[in-house]
Structure 1
Amino acid sequence: MKKNLTAILLAVCTASAHGQTTIAVYGLVDVGLTHESGGMAGGVTKLTSGVDAGSRLGIKGQEALGGGLAALFLLENGFQADTGALGQGGLLFGRQAWVGLQGRYGTVTAGRQYTPQYLSVVLADPFASGGAGDTKNLMAPTGNAASRMDNTLKYVSPTVAGWHAELAYGAGEGSDGSAAGRQAGAALDYGAGPLRIRIGHHNRDNDTASAKGMGRAANTVVAAVYDFGFAKAYCAYGINKGTNSSLLRNNANPYGLAVVPVPSRDSRDLLLGTSVPIGAHTLMASYIHKDDRSVPDRDASQFALGYRYALSKRSLLYASAAHIANRHGAGYTVGSAIEGGSGNRAIDLGIQHAF
């Protein structure tokens, strides 16, 4: 695996040297110290990777084909900087892997890509889907609405008067047929001046033929950001419907032994947040509420605070803390950009460098 990655990087450097295309190698390394508490394991302290943002190594390129048409690709590997292990379950390019064409009528790409709905949630998160305040602790994607889609064709329209649209389709391609695990998503995005609004939707059929009769999971979110100059305000409202549209967590199974995932068919998410830049310093805060409309009404609320200090344009120090108040047996945990947590409270301290 290491030899394969080395060969790819050497090939990239060779292509760039001959000027065949525009190619860039980039990455990010994030390592932090995390203390989690309030779970069945008690207090847990660990040095881990991908706390504020997932550690990654990427290669991207573009070639002009003439007539305003260009070929482009992106390969992005996720890894654990604390151990050197591959991320995303051991996939070589688990974060993203796609190739496509871009022209005057938009961009079409094929491969492993982010869902339009997930990109909508990230837009409204002052923590940018990382740190202890990560939206993934409570909001979709959990359960059926994953952040990435495999086997995906995606179209992004040109921007007209501040508006652009996205469409994505991913075939299931499993042993139970292409309908099992099939995914589709869409987004409508508007940005002009200090305002950005995005509506994202994700739909996924259940993963097996035996579960197809149970219907499908659908997640819709409306996200907005307004930049006042001295601060940014964030807001999002999500609607989750269908089996596994949001994976609730119960503190204990009937035998009281372990945390058990409980599928929900109907829930709502609300996020309110802010970020305040002060020179090299940035303060963040957010509130997220999960309104479970299934029986037995396992609601939860998360309160989070964060701080980033820019050492330079590429390096920063960060700290974040969050607490989740679970109700009626819910067992949501505070995680980070890459890992789920072990308890309903966490505090993080770390360093990040981008290149």
Structure 2
Amino acid sequence: MRRNTKLATTLGASALLLASAGTSAVEMEMGKAKLSFYGELDVWAGSVENPGSADSTLKLDSGGMNTSFAGMSGTMPLMDGLTGVAALEMFLRPDVGDNGRFNGDTFFARSAYVGLQGKYGKVTAGRNTAPYYLPNVFFNSFGGSFAFSPTILHTYSGGLFGPVAGDSGWSNSIAYYSPSVNGLRGSVVYAFGEQPGESGDNKMGFHLLYNTGGFGMTLSGYQVDAGAATAPNANGGGLGPLGSFSGLGVLEDQMAMMFGASYDFGAAKIFGQYQYMETELTGGDADIDTFTAGVRVPTPSGAVKVAYGMSDFGDDMDDERNTTTVGYDHYFGGNFDLYAAVMHDEIKSLESSMTYGVGARFRW
């Protein structure tokens, strides 16, 4: 524990001190190796209310728009156009001065890998970003916000009503990232279940991303077997804070597919997604269709954001969730911004709720 605390302090302090020089991605060289230090701190204050809650909670919290983190990565030229790569990235909670997204979180939960990169792409091994996560972040107007984004809440956070059975990062995984060819790139990730005699308990997933001009498109999917599913937690995946599939038994496996598209008109950028998720449990099934739409309208000093998400829960689960968020981001250059957002979240079987807040982000 003491070693982990010292390492966290060293990484965070090094990045912040080096960032004081005024660059947004601090680099240094050690022989032939090049190291980069980077991160983001996001703190917000407001009122949080979950659907069905008896009352709201006033709080100062971390990660209103993005989950706070600090990281370092390294590259080293090898031979024949190959480069060695590595990264260590940990989540932070600046509101309480602690590491992780919640107590007991994996120390380097954001990523921890080593690999090779060349003209045919990149291969990394360790803890890699889940292939389903980034497409969801890229194709909604509120990005990776676990506090305000309908897309993220309906997919990753919200208990029974945001039920991805896996984190935003996959441990014990091997990932391949293709080079970009005419605007098209993709990845494939496989995570070992590491259970004796249960070689089939694993995670597999992929994503494709295409960008040309103002148009963007993505296709992503994954399969998670029960033995490899992430245990429920408060923020980073699993079955989340509003409950679990306890009424339908224990998770056996889950698959999902997502299609997303965006177009930047200049005066506004629009986003849309469709997601189908199928979850098999020992006591029944839960099939979920999710539709999200959003728009980001730039202003001279920031952007107005609007997003809507609807999930229809079928099969052995009969429910519906509707979430609408409106927000504004005010930029002070590329490293600092202030934001405000208000969200209405309604689940048919529960009472609706309102969450609102204001926050600030600093990147280096």
The two structures have a TM-score, normalised by structure 2, of 0.81
Are 2:1 and 1:2 equivalent residues in the alignment?
no
Query: Conserved in 1, the CA contact under 8 Å of 2:223 and 2:255?
Result: yes
| Alignment counterpart, residue 352 of structure 1, candidates 332, 352, 361 | 361
Tell me how far 1:157 sits from its aligned partner: 1.2
Counterpart CA distance in 2 for 1:157 and 1:323 is 39
Q: Deviations over 1:167-212 (max 9, x none)?
A: 11001114673433x1000112211111111100011001389x99
Counterpart CA distance in 2 for 1:85 and 1:263 is 39
Matching residue of 2:130: 115
Query: Conserved in 1, the CA contact under 8 Å of 2:217 and 2:260?
Result: yes
Tell me how far 1:116 sits from its aligned partner: 1.5
Are 2:257 and 1:223 equivalent residues in the alignment?
no
Query: Conserved in 1, the CA contact under 8 Å of 2:286 and 2:316?
Result: no
Matching residue of 1:21: 33
Q: Deviations over 1:84-137 (max 9, x none)?
A: 112143332111111111101111011112221121111211100214234222
Most deviating of 228-237 and 4-13: 4-13
Assess, with a 3 A threshold, how the Cα gap between structure 1 residues 10 and 282 changes in structure 2: closer, same or farther: closer
Assess, with a 3 A threshold, how the Cα gap between structure 1 residues 169 and 18 changes in structure 2: closer, same or farther: closer
Matching residue of 2:245: none
Structure 2, unmatched stretches of 5+, are 19-26, 157-161, 230-247
Counterpart CA distance in 1 for 2:64 and 2:95 is 11
Are 2:340 and 1:319 equivalent residues in the alignment?
yes
CA-atom RMSD, angstroms? Answer: 2.8
Matching residue of 1:285: 306
Letter in 1 for 2:286: R
Are 2:100 and 1:87 equivalent residues in the alignment?
yes
Letter in 1 for 2:357: D
Are 2:278 and 1:241 equivalent residues in the alignment?
yes
Counterpart CA distance in 2 for 1:52 and 1:76 is 18
Matching residue of 2:111: 96
Assess, with a 3 A threshold, how the Cα gap between structure 1 residues 277 and 68 changes in structure 2: closer, same or farther: same
Counterpart CA distance in 2 for 1:82 and 1:205 is 35
Q: Secondary structure at the match of 1:160?
A: coil
Matching residue of 1:250: none
Q: Secondary structure at the match of 1:53?
A: coil
Query: Conserved in 2, the CA contact under 8 Å of 1:205 and 1:215?
Result: yes
| Alignment counterpart, residue 171 of structure 1, candidates 192, 215, 230 | 192
Q: Secondary structure at the match of 2:99?
A: coil
Are 2:149 and 1:133 equivalent residues in the alignment?
yes
Matching residue of 1:247: none
Q: Secondary structure at the match of 2:258?
A: strand
Assess, with a 3 A threshold, how the Cα gap between structure 1 residues 133 and 5 changes in structure 2: closer, same or farther: closer
Matching residue of 2:84: 71
Letter in 2 for 1:120: P
Aligned length: 323
Q: Secondary structure at the match of 2:205?
A: strand
The two structures have a TM-score, normalised by structure 1, of 0.83
Assess, with a 3 A threshold, how the Cα gap between structure 1 residues 60 and 265 changes in structure 2: closer, same or farther: same
Tell me how far 1:36 sits from its aligned partner: 2.0
Most deviating of 297-306 and 212-221: 212-221
RCO greater where, 1 or 2, for CA within 8 Å and sep 6 or more? 1
* Percent identity for Structure 1 against Structure 2: 26
Matching residue of 2:70: 57
Q: Deviations over 1:3-41 (max 9, x none)?
A: 23456689999x945433111111111111020236434
Assess, with a 3 A threshold, how the Cα gap between structure 1 residues 68 and 348 changes in structure 2: closer, same or farther: same
| Alignment counterpart, residue 121 of structure 2, candidates 90, 100, 106 | 106
Matching residue of 1:201: 221
Letter in 2 for 1:33: A
Query: Conserved in 2, the CA contact under 8 Å of 1:264 and 1:292?
Result: no
Query: Conserved in 2, the CA contact under 8 Å of 1:206 and 1:212?
Result: no
| Alignment counterpart, residue 206 of structure 2, candidates 167, 186, 194 | 186
Matching residue of 1:338: none
Counterpart CA distance in 2 for 1:264 and 1:157 is 35
| Alignment counterpart, residue 158 of structure 1, candidates 173, 179, 186 | 179
Q: Deviations over 1:246-270 (max 9, x none)?
A: xxxxxxxxxxxxxxxx985211010
Counterpart CA distance in 2 for 1:150 and 1:263 is 28
